[in-house]
Chains A and B, each alone.
Chain A
Amino acid sequence: MQARAGRVPRAPGLVWLTLVALLSSACGGTAAPSSAGTAATSAAPASAGAPASEGPGGSQAPAGYTGPKVTLTYAHGFTGPDGPIMQVLVNTFKQSHPNIAIEASAVPWGDTFATLAERAAAGQAPDLVAVTEDQIGYFMASGALQDLTDDIAALGVKESEFFPNFVSVVKWKDRQYGLPFSSAAFVMYYNKKLMNTAGISAVPETHDDFLAAAKACTTDGAGKHPGDAGFDAASTATWGTVVPLPWVGGTVGYGLLRGADGDLVDTDLNASFNSAAGQKAAQFLLDLSKTDQVSPPAPTEEVEVGTFQSGKSCFDITGVWKLTDYRNALKADLGVAFQPELTGKQAAWGAAVFMTLPKQADGYDPNKRAAALEFSRWMAGHDAVLSWTESGALPVRPDVASDPAYASNIMAPVAASLDKIFIPAGWPWVSAVRTSWDAALERIMQQKEPVEQSLTDGVKEANDNITQQRAALGL
């Protein structure tokens, strides 16, 4: 009995500890207290002054907020080298808007999104949150964000100021929930020197040119190309391209899917990527390594980046954010172009970041709301978007893309094609469907499942998730 009594407190202690760790990591959203920054917001007294003027001067107005001094909290996920550039923008805004203090905090995107719905429900959300394209649909549909349709009209911001594909994805049931200010896309980097060695004079723009160029770039130890008698795929010295798994491959594949006039979901927003277009995209990716032999089978992202940086592949389709690394590695040999037409028409994956106002508690200071709208308007305006492109972001506005001040940017040739990028956004279950799509493509590339079966399995998995999410969102 002595021993039994003695052990009782110890065993559950360990077990409970485990449970705490488990619950806190699995349901971080519910348990985590609201992070720093919101305290200042809720402490500020509601102003009894006259409603703030919205500033009717259009998007070029110097200061559209005339209310009393307010302090806003702003959460964004630019935690990399783009963080300081965002801070410079915030400081510039403060100079022209002495009555609006902005407390910006760079928090990893995932941390903000994991708690945003909870914080909005509790009236504890930051005044401003930058939301990425993969999550905007969920937050629009779940009611975590404020409907800004009428405010945007009142601010004088016109849809025509932006590339249309950036505005359509921040709408849910014809209401608009934010303003785009940042973009990224997958582009095709190329190695001029290696192309020269392979005898390729022009950057490929079509499916056939791309495959021909990729074959010319792929050589084995004996200098033979794929298709030559005695070509040894196991001793390849240089590659045409390298498409890694799962996320980069899934993102390249999304561009191919849109290029074949398909999409991840159908008009009812159910997963439909096992369509003919989806199969065409997946088959193209599989053939790159399996039959065309211009890409290694199932590589990782390190292999992709390492191969291109060491000058051993001609083409690399990946994000604009790789630019700095690639320029350091390849210097003047590096070129950038829009993704070629590979499955029917030119299309590439694009990303966007939107300035949003989360839902707030009843009695929220209208002056703060007016100030937050003014900051959103300013961030999506010409000058701020132009400055923000210094971070490597693509412009969301045609007037920036065609601005002479932007022409010297290495991405300028790509920006001219921004109307051809497709952004997987605007519906609530983007991240879940993307995960199923990426996993389906990975099974195909790893040759675990044939194309059609893998895509159909992926669609089934995604649609089961969608059914559950519809029920939770009351859709």
Chain B
Amino acid sequence: MRRFASLDSANPLVAYLFLLPHAVLFAVFVVYPIVSGISLSLHRYNPLAKDQAFVGPLFYQRLFDFSTPEAVNFWRSMAQTAFFTAVVVPILIALALFLALLLQRPILGRGVFRTIFFVPTVLSVSVMAILWRWMSADQFGLVNIALRDIGLPSISFISREWLAWIPIIVGTTWWTVGFNMTLYLAALASIPENYYEAAELDGAGAWGRFRFITFPLLMPATLFVAITTVLASLQLYGQSQLITNGGPTRTTQSGMMVITEQAFTNHQLSSATAMSLVFGLLLVVLAAFQFRLMSGRVRAAVR
């Protein structure tokens, strides 16, 4: 019993006390919403009704029945979100790494350039999106005015399918690449200089040093950057809401947009919750898969 008498590091309760604040927040803001969300999705929820009819997995079944509009809209938007993620993630990783490598060198004005690339990340999504909407607007946007002034035909970025992705993808890259770059810069700074000296003595060129020292030692950073970027990209919302409003003909509508529309335009809270949980589950599976895939390489690289 003496073990519990004093609150020193030998007391096994101490660890739990330290964990308690986070556990409480976790329970209130994560566990409770998920549990109540599951309950919500199994009822036909109407906040003002006296009883909520239990409907079982009805809304999940409808989500996999392609004769319902929610299945069609949800899975189309998921495919579109996946397309966005597949395009933007490689760019956001490769470009961030490239910029970090350039700006790690002691070049003139390095701080200024680092700031220039980092500054857009502090903007809110609405500021960034409105800016890119103005730039890419059909006919009267900055890009089209510039094209007209140099005698080129205008491009209808907002009202043409596929073209509408360009302002979203370019805008997102401009907005977030600086953050990934900063993570890479921090990771680059932690690679000991003597590894490179040794490699040079062994006759390694610039590519060899990158291939066998820099890239492997950046693997933990790359894992972090990749997972956070994938998850952030899959939650695409503000950019397509404000730049294209999901258009033209819903072709840039993201998964989050369809969920919001189902809840607040169509007043189907239970169905929207079922969509959220399916989406959440897909994210969990994807993140776990990605982690498993990459953590092996991290261990191999760091060893």
Decide if B7 is an interface residue (CB 8 Å cutoff). no
B29-A472 in contact (CB<8A): no
Q: Does A23 contact B (CB under 8 A)?
A: yes
Residues from chain B with a CB closer than 8 A to the CB of A246 are 245, 247
Interface contact tally, CB-CB below 8 A: 168
Asked whether B107 is an interface residue with its Cβ less than 8 Å from the other chain, the reply is no
Interface hit among B34-42, B176-184, B188-196: B34-42
B175 at the A interface (CB under 8 A): no
Chain A positions near chain B (C-beta within 8 angstroms): 3, 7, 11, 14-16, 18-27, 29-31, 110, 113-114, 117-118, 120-121, 138, 142-144, 245-246, 298-300, 302-303, 306-307, 359, 428-429, 431-432, 435, 439, 442-443, 446, 448, 460-461, 464-465, 468-469, 471-474
Binary A-proximity of B44-59 (CB < 8 A = 1, otherwise 0) = 1111110001000000
Closest chain A CB from B225 CB (angstroms): 12
Q: Across the interface, which residues of A come within 8 angstroms of B138, CB to CB?
A: 299-300, 302-303
Output the residue of B36, B159, B161, B272 with the most chain A CB within 10 A: B159
Contact A473 B33 (CB under 8 A): no
CA distance A453 to B37 in the complex (A): 37
A23-B37, A245-B159 in contact; A11/B288 too (CB < 8 A)?
yes
Q: Which of B9-54 contact A (CB under 8 A)?
A: 26, 29-30, 33-34, 36-37, 40, 44-49, 53
5 new A-B pairs (CB below 8 Å) besides A22-B280, A432-B266? A23-B33, A27-B276, A29-B269, A117-B48, A142-B48
**Distance from B127 Cβ to chain A, minimum over Cβ atoms (Å):** 17
Provide the bound-state CA to CA distance between A15 and B234, in Å.
12
Say yes or no: A29 contacts B263, CB within 8 Å: yes
Q: Is the interface of A mostly helix, strand, loop or mixed?
A: helix
Taking a contact as CB atoms under 8 Å apart, the answer to whether B265 and A442 are in contact is: no
Known contacts A26-B256, A138-B267; A472 and B45 CB within 8 A of each other: yes
The reply on B93 being an interface residue by CB < 8 A is no
Interchain residue pairs A-B with the least CB separation, the first 3: A306-B140, A26-B276, A302-B137
Chain B 251-266 per-residue mask, 1 if CB under 8 angstroms from chain A, else 0: 0000010011101111
Contacts of A461 in B (CB 8 A): 69
Expressed in whole angstroms, the Cα–Cα distance for A189 and B248 within the complex equals: 26
Is there an interface contact between B283 and A15, defined as CB atoms closer than 8 Å? yes
When distances are taken between beta carbons in the complex, the residues of chain B under 8 Å from A245 are 159, 247-248
C-alpha gap A415/B140 in the complex (Å): 33
Q: Are B249 and A448 in contact (CB under 8 A)?
A: yes
The interface residues of chain B lying within 8 Å CB-to-CB of A14 are 227-228, 231, 287
Judge whether B268 and A300 touch: CB under 8 Å. Answer: no
Is B250 positioned at the interface, with any CB of A under 8 Å from its CB? yes
B158 at the interface (CB under 8 A from A): yes
Which residues of chain B have C-beta atoms less than 8 A from A3's C-beta? 295, 299
Complex-state Cα separation, A18 to B277, whole angstroms: 11
Residue ID in chain B nearest A464 by CB atoms: B69
Q: In the complex where A118-B47, A474-B49 touch, is A27 in contact with B40 (Cβ < 8 A)?
A: yes
Name the A residues within 8 Å of B132 (CB-CB).
Answer: none
User: B48, A439: Cβ atoms under 8 Å?
Assistant: no
Across the interface, which residues of A come within 8 angstroms of B141, CB to CB?
302
B273 CB within 8 Å of chain A: yes
Q: How far apart are the CA atoms of A22 and B275 in the complex, in Å?
A: 10
| Cα(A114)–Cα(B260), bound, Å | 10
Q: For B40, B45, B69, which residue has the most chain A Cβ atoms within 10 angstroms?
A: B69
- The reply to whether A300 and B158 contact each other, CB–CB distance below 8 Å, is yes
From the candidates A19, A110, A120, A307, name the one contacting B34 in the complex (CB within 8 A): A19
Query: Which residues on the B side are within 8 Å of A29 (C-beta)?
Result: 47, 263-264, 269
CB distance from B51 to the nearest CB of A (A): 10
Q: How far is the CA of A306 from the CA of B144 in the complex (A)?
A: 13
Residue of B nearest to A462 (CB): B69
Q: Is B293 located at the chain interface by the 8 A CB criterion?
A: no
A400 to B65, CA, bound (A): 53
Q: A16-B26, A306-B139, A464-B69 are in contact. Are A446 and B249 (CB under 8 A)?
A: yes
Query: Hey, what's the 0/1 contact readout for B221-251 against A, CB within 8 Å counting as 1?
Result: 0000001100100010100000001011110
Whether A26 pairs with B263 at a CB distance below 8 angstroms is: yes
Q: Indicate if B119 sits at the interface (CB-CB under 8 A).
A: no
In this assembly, does B102 line the interface, its C-beta being within 8 Å of a C-beta of chain A? no
Q: Who on chain B is nearest to A11 by CB?
A: B291
Verify B283–A19 contact, CB threshold 8 A: yes
Chain A residue numbers with a CB within 8 Å of B272 are 26-27
Once bound together, how far apart are the Cα atoms of A121 and B271, in whole Å?
20
Q: Does B87 contact A (CB under 8 A)?
A: no
Which residues in B have their C-beta under 8 angstroms from that of A27?
33, 37, 40, 263, 269, 272-273, 276
How many angstroms between the C-alpha atoms of A7 and B284 in the bound complex? Answer: 15
Determine if B61 is an interface residue (Cβ-Cβ < 8 Å): no
Chain A residues, CB < 8 A from B271: 468
Contact of B295 (CB < 8 Å), options: A7, A307, A472: A7
CB-nearest residue of chain A relative to B36?
A30
User: By the criterion CB–CB under 8 Å, are B287 and A19 in contact?
Assistant: no
Interface: B84 (CB within 8 A): no
Within the complex, the shortest CB–CB distance from A23 to chain B, in Å, comes to: 5
- Please give the distance in Å from A429's CB to the nearest CB on chain B: 7
Q: Please determine whether A431 and B263 come into contact, CB atoms closer than 8 angstroms.
A: no
Contact A469-B249, Cβ < 8 Å, known A21-B235, A120-B48, A298-B159: no
Q: Which of A143, A307, A435, A471 contacts B48 (CB 8 A)?
A: A143
Chain A CB within 8 A of B279 CB: yes
- Whether a CB of chain A sits under 8 angstroms from the CB of B68 is yes
Known: A23-B33, A117-B47. A446 touches B269 (CB 8 A): no
Complex: A402 Cα to B236 Cα, angstroms: 50
- Residues from chain A with a CB closer than 8 A to the CB of B137 are 300, 302-303
Q: How far is the CA of A23 from the CA of B36 in the complex (A)?
A: 11
A372–B273 CA distance with the chains assembled, in angstroms: 35
Question: Once the chains are docked, how many angstroms separate the CA of A77 from the CA of B230?
Answer: 36
Task: Judge whether A15 and B48 touch: CB under 8 Å.
Answer: no
Mark each residue of chain B from 191 to 233: 1 if its CB lies under 8 Å from any CB of chain A, else 0: 0000000000000000000000000000000000001100100
Do the beta carbons of B267 and A472 come within 8 Å of each other?
yes
Interface centre among A300, A431, A432, A439 (most CB of B within 10 A): A300
Given A23-B37, A25-B256, A472 and B159 touching (CB < 8 A)? Answer: no
Give 26 pairs: A residue, B residue, CB < 8 Å, sorted on A.
Answer: A14-B228, A15-B288, A18-B280, A23-B37, A23-B276, A25-B237, A26-B260, A27-B276, A110-B264, A138-B267, A143-B48, A298-B248, A300-B156, A302-B141, A303-B137, A303-B139, A306-B139, A306-B140, A431-B265, A442-B249, A446-B161, A472-B45, A472-B46, A472-B270, A473-B46, A473-B49
